[in-house]
Amino acid sequence: MGRLSEFQEHLAQSAKQVSDTISRLIPEADGLEARLGDAMRYATLNGGKRLRPYLVRTSAQLFDVPDDRALRVAAALEMVHSYSLVHDDLPAMDDDDLRRGKPTCHIEFDEATAILAGDALLTYAFEILGHPDTHPSGEVRANLVMALASASGARGMVGGQMLDLMAEDQTLGMEQITRLQRLKTGMLIAVSCEAGAILGKAPKAAHHALSAYAHDLGLAFQIADDLLDVEGDAEVVGKKIGKDADAGKETFVSLLGVERARDQARMLVDQAIEHLAPFEARADNLRDLARFVIDRSS
C-alpha cells in the first residue's frame, strides 16, 4: 500500500470518528421542531472528508492533548464549515442543488429550514467550545471561541463570501483572488490548526509555525479545488463541475492557467511542509495531509 493510500485510510478512519462525535453531539430532536435537528444532522453527517477536524486533531496531538477534547473542537469546526456550505448553497447565494453527490439542504428540506439549520449549527459550535468538557480552563475555552469567531465572521469566512458575491461583476487580479480565498476558506483552515495549539497551550513559536503551515495549506487547497472544478470528474467530485467558469468567476486557474496553477499549489505545499520542521517526525501526518491536498481527486 502506497503512502498516499495509507494516509487516505487514516483520514477516512478519522472522518468516521468525527462523524460519530457529531452524531452524538447533535440531539435527535423530537417534538414539532424535530425537522431542525434532522436538517442539522443531514448537513453535517454527509460523508465529507473532514479535513478541518483532521487538522484540529493532528495539531492537538503535537501537544499531547487528550483526543476527546480535540474531537469536540473538531466537531465544532466542522459544524461551522457545514453551516457555511448550507447557507452558501441557498438560492439567494450560489443556488446549488447538489453537494457531495446529494441534494443540498434546502432541496432536501426547504429554504427556511436550511437557513435555521445553518444558524443552529453555527450557534452550537460556540456552545460546544464554551463547555467545560472541551477544556477545564475557561481561558482556553474563551480563546477557542474568539479564534473561531474571528476566523469565521465578517473579517474572515463570511467577509470572504461577501467578497465572492461582489466579485462576480469584477475582474480580480492575483492579489485580490488570494485575499478572497484567504478570507473565504483559508482562515477556517488556519484556525483548525490554531485550535490544536490553543488546546495544547502551545508555545508562541509552535503556534506561529502551525499557523504558517495552515495558511500555505489553505491556499494550496483552494488552488487544487479550482483545478478540480476545471479538470475533475463530476461524479467523483460530487458537485457540479465548471461552475466557476459558468459564473464568469476568476479563479487561480483562470488567471494562471492549469500548469502554472499546479506548480503554484506544489510550491505552496513544499513551503507548508517546511514550516513543520520544528516538530520533526511528530508532524508527519500533517505533511502527508499537505501532499494529499493536491493529489486528491475529490
Shortest distance (Å) from residue 10 CB to a copy of itself: 32
Q: Is 126 in the site for a copy of itself (CB under 8 A)?
A: yes
Piece of 63-71, 157-165, 250-258, 278-286 that binds a copy of itself (CB under 8 A): 157-165
Cβ-Cβ contacts under 8 Å for 82 (sequence gap 6 or more):
43, 44, 46, 48, 121
> What residues between 213 and 272 interact with a copy of itself by CB under 8 A?
none
C-alpha cell at 250: 476568476
For a copy of itself, the binding residue among 8, 10, 17, 37 (CB under 8 A) is 37
Torsion sign (Cα): 282, 50, 14, 195: positive
How far is Cα 3 from Cα 38, in angstroms, rounded to an integer? Answer: 38
- Eight-class DSSP state of 183: I
Q: Is 197 in the site for a copy of itself (CB under 8 A)?
A: no
Shortest distance (Å) from residue 236 CB to a copy of itself: 29
Size of the site for a copy of itself (CB under 8 A): 60
Q: Is 92 in the site for a copy of itself (CB under 8 A)?
A: yes
177 CB-contact burial (10 Å; exposed 0-12 / middle 13-18 / buried 19+): buried
Shortest distance (Å) from residue 243 CB to a copy of itself: 16
For a copy of itself, the binding residue among 8, 17, 29, 258 (CB under 8 A) is 29
Q: Is 8 in the site for a copy of itself (CB under 8 A)?
A: no
Q: Is 207 in the site for a copy of itself (CB under 8 A)?
A: no
Residue closer to a copy of itself, measured from CB, 29 or 258: 29
Piece of 32-40, 61-69, 96-104, 288-296 that binds a copy of itself (CB under 8 A): 32-40
Neighbours of 118 (CB within 10 A): 26
How far is Cα 206 from Cα 210, in angstroms, rounded to an integer? Answer: 6
Neighbours of 176 (CB within 10 A): 15
How far is Cα 159 from Cα 144, in angstroms, rounded to an integer? Answer: 20
How far is Cα 175 from Cα 29, in angstroms, rounded to an integer? Answer: 46
Piece of 6-14, 34-42, 199-207, 208-216 that binds a copy of itself (CB under 8 A): 34-42
Piece of 10-18, 136-144, 208-216, 222-230 that binds a copy of itself (CB under 8 A): 136-144
Which residue is it, cell 495509507? 6
Q: Is 161 in the site for a copy of itself (CB under 8 A)?
A: yes
Q: Would you state the torsion angle of the CA atoms of residues 133, 135, 139, 145, taken in this order, to the nearest 10 degrees? A: -70
The H or E element spanning position 103 is: strand 102-103
How far is Cα 168 from Cα 180, in angstroms, rounded to an integer? Answer: 12
Shortest distance (Å) from residue 208 CB to a copy of itself: 20
Label residue 257 left, alpha or beta by phi (over 0 means left) and psi (-120 to 50 means alpha): left
Residue closer to a copy of itself, measured from CB, 162 or 212: 162
Question: For residues 128 and 135, is the Cβ–Cβ distance under 8 A?
Answer: no
- Per-position x/- string for 52-91, each x denoting binding to a copy of itself as judged by CB under 8 A, each - no binding: -------------------------------x---x--x-
Residues making contact with a copy of itself (CB under 8 A): 27, 29, 31-33, 35-37, 40, 83, 87, 90, 92-93, 110-113, 115-116, 118-120, 122-124, 126-127, 129-132, 137-143, 145-146, 148-150, 152-155, 158-163, 165-167, 170, 176, 183
